[in-house]
Structure 1
Amino acid sequence: MTMFLREEDSEIRRVEKLTRISDVLVERIDRLEESRGSAWSMFQAAVALEQEVQVRTRELEQALADLSERNRELAVARALAEEANRSKTRFLRAASHDLLQPLSAAKLFLAALNDTSMDELQTELAQRLSGAFESVEELMHAVLDISRLDSQRIEFQRKPVDLGEMFRRLAIEYAPMAEAKGLRLSFAPTSAIVESDPTFLRRIAQNLVSNAIKYTDSGGVLAGVRRRGGRVWLEILDTGIGIAAPDRARIFDEFHRIGREGGAPGMGLGLSIVRRACAKLGHPIAMDSEPGRGTVFRVSLPLVGAETQGKGVAPVLDGPSLRGRVALVVENDDAMRRAYQLILQDRLGMVARVTCGIPEALAQMGDEPPDVVIADYNLDNGDTGLQAIRELRLAAGQPVPAIIVSARRDPEIGRASLELGVPVVEKPVRPEDLQAVLQHMFA
Structure 2
Amino acid sequence: MNFQKRLPTDVVQEHLDIFLKAPNSIYMGHIASASVLIYIAAQNNSVPVWFLWGWAVAQIVGYPILMEIWSRCCKKADRSAPDNHRWIDYMDLLCVFVGTTWGIMFFISLNEENAAHFAIQLSIAAGASSAAVRSLATFPRSFIVYSVPMLGLLVLRLLLMGGEFVLLGGLVAIFLFMLLVSGEGVMEAVSRYIAIKNENLDLADRFKKAADDADHANREKTRLLAAASHDLRQPIHAIGLYMETLPIAKMDGHSRQTLERIRNSLQTLTKLFNSLLDVSLLDAGKVKVRTSHFNLKPMLNSILDDYEPLAEIAHATLLLECDDAGVEADPVLLRRMVQNLLSNAIRYSNGGTVRLLAKGKEGDSLSIVVSDQGPGIPKEHQAVIFEEFSQLAKQKDPLADHKQDEMGQDKGLGLGLAIVRRLADLQSLTISIQSSDKGTSLAIEGLKQVAIPRKEVTQQNPMARIDALFARKHILVADDDPATLEATANLLRTWGCKVSLASGLDEIVPMTQCPDLLISDFSFEGQCTGLDIIEKARQIFEPALPAMIVSGDSSAQVQKLVENAGLLLVYKPVQPVQLRSALLEAFMSSQGEDEDAADRVKQTA
Say if 2:325 and 2:449, in contact at 8 Å, map to a contact too.
Answer: no
What secondary structure is seen at the aligned counterpart in 2 of 1:381? coil
Letter in 2 for 1:344: L
Partner of 2:519: 374
Q: 1:222 to 1:318 in 2, by over 3 A?
A: farther
Q: 1:270 to 1:307 in 2, by over 3 A?
A: same
Q: 1:31 to 1:125 in 2, by over 3 A?
A: farther
What secondary structure is seen at the aligned counterpart in 2 of 1:379? coil
The alignment's C-alpha RMSD in Å is 3.2
Deviation, 1:165, is 5.5
Letter in 2 for 1:260: Q
Letter in 2 for 1:173: D
Mapped to 1, the partners of 2:583 and 2:280 lie a distance apart of: 31
Deviation, 1:147, is 3.6
Deviation, 1:242, is 4.5
Mapped to 2, the partners of 1:124 and 1:370 lie a distance apart of: 38
Counterpart mapping for 1:93-172 below 5 A: 93-113=226-246, 115=248, 117-151=250-284, 153-160=285-292, 162=294, 163-164=296-297, 166-167=299-300, 169-172=302-305
What secondary structure is seen at the aligned counterpart in 1 of 2:540? helix
Over residues 346-371 of structure 1, what are the superposed CA-to-partner deviations in whole Å (9 max), with x where a residue is unaligned? x21212212122331x22x4353211
Q: State whether structure 2 residue 460 is matched by structure 1 residue 328.
A: no
Q: State whether structure 2 residue 210 is matched by structure 1 residue 74.
A: no
Partner of 1:406: 551
Say if 2:281 and 2:287, in contact at 8 Å, map to a contact too.
Answer: no
Say if 1:209 and 1:236, in contact at 8 Å, map to a contact too.
Answer: yes
Counterpart mapping for 1:278-427 below 5 A: 278-292=424-438, 294-303=439-448, 306-308=451-453, 309-310=456-457, 316=463, 319-321=466-468, 322-345=470-493, 347-360=494-507, 362-363=508-509, 365-366=510-511, 368-408=513-553, 417=562, 422-427=567-572
Deviation, 1:204, is 1.1
Which one has a bigger Cα radius of gyration? 2
Q: State whether structure 2 residue 403 is matched by structure 1 residue 257.
A: no
What secondary structure is seen at the aligned counterpart in 1 of 2:376? coil
Letter in 1 for 2:349: T
Mapped to 2, the partners of 1:62 and 1:438 lie a distance apart of: 67
Q: 1:411 to 1:209 in 2, by over 3 A?
A: farther
Letter in 2 for 1:390: E
In the comparison of the two structures, how many residue pairs are matched?
409
Say if 1:191 and 1:310, in contact at 8 Å, map to a contact too.
Answer: no
Partner of 1:234: 368
Letter in 2 for 1:385: G
Say if 1:319 and 1:440, in contact at 8 Å, map to a contact too.
Answer: no
Instruction: Structure 2 unaligned segments of length 5 or more: list them.
Output: 1-160, 589-605
Mapped to 2, the partners of 1:398 and 1:314 lie a distance apart of: 31
Say if 1:376 and 1:385, in contact at 8 Å, map to a contact too.
Answer: yes
Deviation, 1:219, is 5.7
Q: 1:386 to 1:311 in 2, by over 3 A?
A: farther
Partner of 2:51: none
Letter in 2 for 1:372: L
Over residues 101-131 of structure 1, what are the superposed CA-to-partner deviations in whole Å (9 max), with x where a residue is unaligned? 2111111122223645222222222122122
Q: 1:205 to 1:244 in 2, by over 3 A?
A: closer
Say if 1:189 and 1:311, in contact at 8 Å, map to a contact too.
Answer: no
Normalised TM-score (structure 1): 0.80
Q: 1:408 to 1:175 in 2, by over 3 A?
A: farther
Partner of 1:12: none
Partner of 1:190: 324
Mapped to 2, the partners of 1:391 and 1:175 lie a distance apart of: 43
Letter in 2 for 1:36: G
Mapped to 1, the partners of 2:554 and 2:258 lie a distance apart of: 32
What secondary structure is seen at the aligned counterpart in 2 of 1:251? helix
Q: 1:413 to 1:159 in 2, by over 3 A?
A: farther
Say if 1:320 and 1:439, in contact at 8 Å, map to a contact too.
Answer: no
Letter in 2 for 1:441: A
Mapped to 1, the partners of 2:434 and 2:339 lie a distance apart of: 19
Partner of 1:215: 348
What secondary structure is seen at the aligned counterpart in 1 of 2:433? strand
Mapped to 2, the partners of 1:317 and 1:412 lie a distance apart of: 39
Partner of 1:20: none
Deviation, 1:233, is 0.9
Say if 1:190 and 1:225, in contact at 8 Å, map to a contact too.
Answer: no
Deviation, 1:384, is 3.1
Deviation, 1:150, is 4.2
Q: 1:230 to 1:417 in 2, by over 3 A?
A: farther
Q: 1:48 to 1:440 in 2, by over 3 A?
A: closer
What secondary structure is seen at the aligned counterpart in 2 of 1:303? strand
Say if 1:168 and 1:314, in contact at 8 Å, map to a contact too.
Answer: no
Q: Which has the higher helix share?
A: 2
